[in-house]
Amino acid sequence: MKTNSKYLLWIIITICVLMVFPVSAQDDQTIIPSDVALPLDNPVAIDDIDEPGADGEIGLAYLSYNTTVGTYAKCSTDAFFYMLLVNESSESASVVLPRRAKVQNQYYYVENSAYTCKDVNYTTWTQDNYADANGGSACVLDDNVLDLPAHSVISVRGKVVNFSHEISRENKTDSLLYQFDIQINNKRKNSAGALYEESAICKALEFLEVSENNRIEGGYFIDPTASKSCSMNYFFIVENSDLMYSNVVELPRWIDLNNNRWSVGCSYLYDGCKISGFRHYAWAILEDGADYHNLNYQFCDQDRAFGNNCYEENTLWWLRIPPQTKIAVRGMVNNLCGDAATYPFFENYVHASFEISDAGSNKWWVDGEIAGTPLSSAASNLEVTAPLYSQISDRDPDEEVTRYLFEDPSLGQDEPVSNETDAVNQTAVSSPADIDPLSRNDESWYRIGDPECDHFFCHDFHLPPTGFPANRMTLLNQQPTELAYKDLGNYQIEIPALDVISSIVGVPQQGDTWAVQWLGENSGLLEGSELPGEGLSVIAAHNHIDTGTAGPFAMLSTMEENDRIFIRKPGGDLMQYAVSQNLLLKPEAFSDLKNVVTENSLVLITCENESVDGGYLNRRIIIANPS
């Protein structure tokens, strides 16, 4: 009985101790319900980066879903995201806002000019202040760097753009996964969260009158012979009246002329042409009061520098329409001669019409009466074998035409060639037959070792093809053993202005260029150049990788003089370089580099200006020197 009393007393004491001193949870990361506002003194209120020497935390506030949250509209191709930047320190901090972000685990661009900021009361802020930036103004940025003063809180809103409308239209959950990297006082932090659907804009397009009672306009020459006037330009205007989000329109693949249907294609260029008719569409923003005839139209095959508004998705052709914007679209239909029974240009007028769709599969019928122009006496004397507007040189005199000839079998080279496979574009490429691969040994093939022949400039190489077609998958061949990349021991390149950190591997020479096609998200030190800090270093990375998403050097063209580039060595030491030149070269302009580099320069290379065949017409070159 006495023993039982002792056990009972021990149990009572144990229970009391547990009540007074509760057992700590194994995970000290508190799970924050989405509807709970955090008090200022909560230790997980912000994402602490442990800034050395600061007397308070600096970081991203936890919002209702991790450290970022945002919104999108169904059928749109952009989204808004929010963050709360908090500085509890008595020292100011610098924050590099993201230039790209992941939506559903794929990278897309962030529109730098769209950032808005709003100061939040430091003594009373809560997580509910995250969207205050909606009522803010344009952020004051210096090369995407935002100043975060001591004891301050700033709400920031950004805009991620140019993802496919199918991501927002086909999402089966109530949110999209979203993340980006942010840099605070040279320390990199990852922010993750969710984008929530707040509206739908699947029916928010309007097709405006181009002229009185016409939603299609254009021009053609009246041709009684049905043999000279074989093409027609046509125009239509589409407006997105939504205040916030971009919409998309499917560009027509055919047009009806007097109730006969014609495909939009390129067979008028030469027999067997396979270039997508999508490449012949052009677009321009139409301001109020402007004449659609006199706009600076951008062709869909070369518009990336003007907003990347055109893209292909599941073999369909799409054009983005920014919010509160009118866009004039110019198309062209060709190869109309040959059949007098269906020829449309006998009369003074032709009725033109087509069906057009938006991202929500809503359809409109757009039409108009187009007036013809009599053939001039000079045009009437044309031979039947030279139909009007069917020759490449007549198509658009102020535009380069060589880009429409990539599949022309008559194009070739005079010198002897040896074919090899270019896995980047999955096509045959040619290189001079007398160039032999440079020899290399296992220990130092990536260094310049021959004092009599600088490996980088003693042969006329081609700058490497560091880009895959954007927004579509490319099937890569398996990497051969003889072209395996070299482990350099954990070198990294860091570019704060581009929000880039990428591991560096050694890339071997392949024919008259380098085997960069298997780099993925890595960067490659090209064989023949030296390790950073030991001489001339040349590093290449992709503009877009084989999945069609943005690569590490996608934004290389935006770098400016004195922007910083860092190389992190295996031991953690940093080497700093400052940008001195930003160049755009042809792939064959390899030898031009010799005149702009020094023996200690760092050279970055990527592709630019995607062509109609999925390759790239130019190489973007950044020259940086130790600083």
CA distance 248 to 239: 10
Closest CA to 345 of 364, 362, 370: 370
CA distance 260 to 347: 15
Would you say residue 8 lies in a domain?
no
Q: How confident is the model at residue 438 (pLDDT cuts 50, 70, 90)?
A: very low
Would you say residue 567 lies in a domain?
yes
Same domain, 219 and 243: yes
Would you say residue 15 lies in a domain?
no
> What pLDDT is attached to residue 372?
85
Tell me what the pLDDT averaged over the chain comes to.
75
Could you tell me which residue, 60 or 442, shows the higher pLDDT?
60
Give the alpha-carbon dihedral of 45, 46, 52, 56, to 10 degrees: -50
Task: Check: CB of residue 298 under 8 Å from CB of residue 279.
Answer: no
Three-state SS for 542-588 is CCECCCCCECCCCCHHHCCCCCEEEEECCCCCEEEEEEEEEEEECCC
Q: What are residue 220's DSSP bridge partners?
A: 372
Residue in this structure with the two tokens 């017409």, named with its chain if needed? 617
Please give the average per-residue pLDDT across 609-619, as a whole number. 75
Angle, CA of 85, 90 and 91, to the nearest 5° = 75
Tell me which residue range forms the domain holding 575: 417-626
Same domain, 456 and 371: no
Which DSSP state fits 393? H
Same domain, 452 and 588: yes
CA distance 265 to 400: 18
Give the three-class secondary structure for 592: helix
Same domain, 216 and 193: no
Same domain, 244 and 371: yes
Same domain, 191 and 224: no
Closest CA to 345 of 253, 211, 227: 227
Would you say residue 19 lies in a domain?
no
Single residue among 200, 217, 252 that ends a domain in this structure: 200
> What pLDDT is attached to residue 393?
31
> What pLDDT is attached to residue 443?
35
Same domain, 495 and 590: yes
Same domain, 297 and 389: yes
Q: What percent of the chain has pLDDT over 70?
A: 73
> What pLDDT is attached to residue 36?
39
Q: Specify which of 315-329, 332-346, 366-380 reaches the highest per-range mean pLDDT.
A: 315-329
Q: How many CB atoms lie within 10 A of CB 290?
A: 13
Please give the average per-residue pLDDT across 143-164, as a whole number. 92
Alpha carbon distance, N-terminus to C-terminus of the chain: 85
275: Cβ–Cβ under 8 A, 6 or more apart, which residues?
266, 269, 404, 406, 407, 612
* Overall number of domains in the chain: 3
543: Cβ–Cβ under 8 A, 6 or more apart, which residues?
466, 467, 550, 551, 553, 554, 556, 606, 607, 608, 616, 620
HSE-up (13 A, CA, CB side) for residue 468: 26
Please give the average per-residue pLDDT across 188-196, as a whole number. 89
Single residue among 182, 200, 218 that ends a domain in this structure: 200
Please give the average per-residue pLDDT across 285-299, as a whole number. 85
Single residue among 404, 429, 461 that ends a domain in this structure: 404
Would you say residue 373 lies in a domain?
yes
Would you say residue 467 lies in a domain?
yes
Note the maximum CA span of the chain: 127
Q: Which CATH number goes with the domain that contains 140?
A: 2.60.40.10
SS3 content of the chain, % helix, strand, coil (to 5): 10, 40, 50
Least trusted range by pLDDT, from 133-137, 198-202, 381-385, 437-441: 437-441
Please give the average per-residue pLDDT across 331-338, as a whole number. 80
Please give the average per-residue pLDDT across 55-60, as a whole number. 86
Task: Check: CB of residue 93 under 8 Å from CB of residue 68.
Answer: no
- Whether the predicted pLDDT of 427 surpasses 60: no
Please give the average per-residue pLDDT across 72-94, as a whole number. 92
> Is the pTM above the cut of 0.85?
no
Same domain, 192 and 223: no
Give the three-class secondary structure for 71: strand
Task: Check: CB of residue 179 under 8 Å from CB of residue 101.
Answer: yes
Please give the average per-residue pLDDT across 138-158, as a whole number. 93
Q: How confident is the model at residue 138 (pLDDT cuts 50, 70, 90)?
A: very high
Would you say residue 12 lies in a domain?
no
> What pLDDT is attached to residue 422?
32
CA distance 352 to 259: 8
Closest CA to 259 of 316, 371, 341: 341
Residue in this structure with the two tokens 């405006």, named with its chain if needed? 208
Q: How confident is the model at residue 277 (pLDDT cuts 50, 70, 90)?
A: low
> What pLDDT is attached to residue 336?
83
Same domain, 178 and 227: no
C-alpha distances (whole Å) from 343 to each of 34, 368, 369, 381, 388 are: 65, 18, 16, 20, 14
Could you tell me which residue, 72 or 29, shows the higher pLDDT?
72
Distance of CA 146 to the CA centre of its chain: 23
C-alpha distances (whole Å) from 614 to each of 106, 161, 273, 406, 546 are: 20, 22, 15, 10, 11
Q: Which CATH number goes with the domain that contains 594?
A: 2.40.260.10
Predicted confidence (pLDDT) per residue in 203-233, tens digit: 888 889 888 888 998 888 888 888 878 878 8
**Sign of the torsion formed by the C-alpha atoms of 132, 136, 138 and 139:** negative
Please give the average per-residue pLDDT across 396-419, as a whole number. 31
Would you say residue 21 lies in a domain?
no
Residue in this structure with the two tokens 């490429």, named with its chain if needed? 429
- Whether the predicted pLDDT of 65 surpasses 60: yes
- Whether the predicted pLDDT of 410 surpasses 70: no
Same domain, 585 and 467: yes
- Whether the predicted pLDDT of 165 surpasses 80: yes
Q: How confident is the model at residue 574 (pLDDT cuts 50, 70, 90)?
A: confident
Same domain, 80 and 114: yes
Q: How confident is the model at residue 272 (pLDDT cuts 50, 70, 90)?
A: low
- Whether the predicted pLDDT of 29 surpasses 60: no
Q: How confident is the model at residue 85 (pLDDT cuts 50, 70, 90)?
A: very high
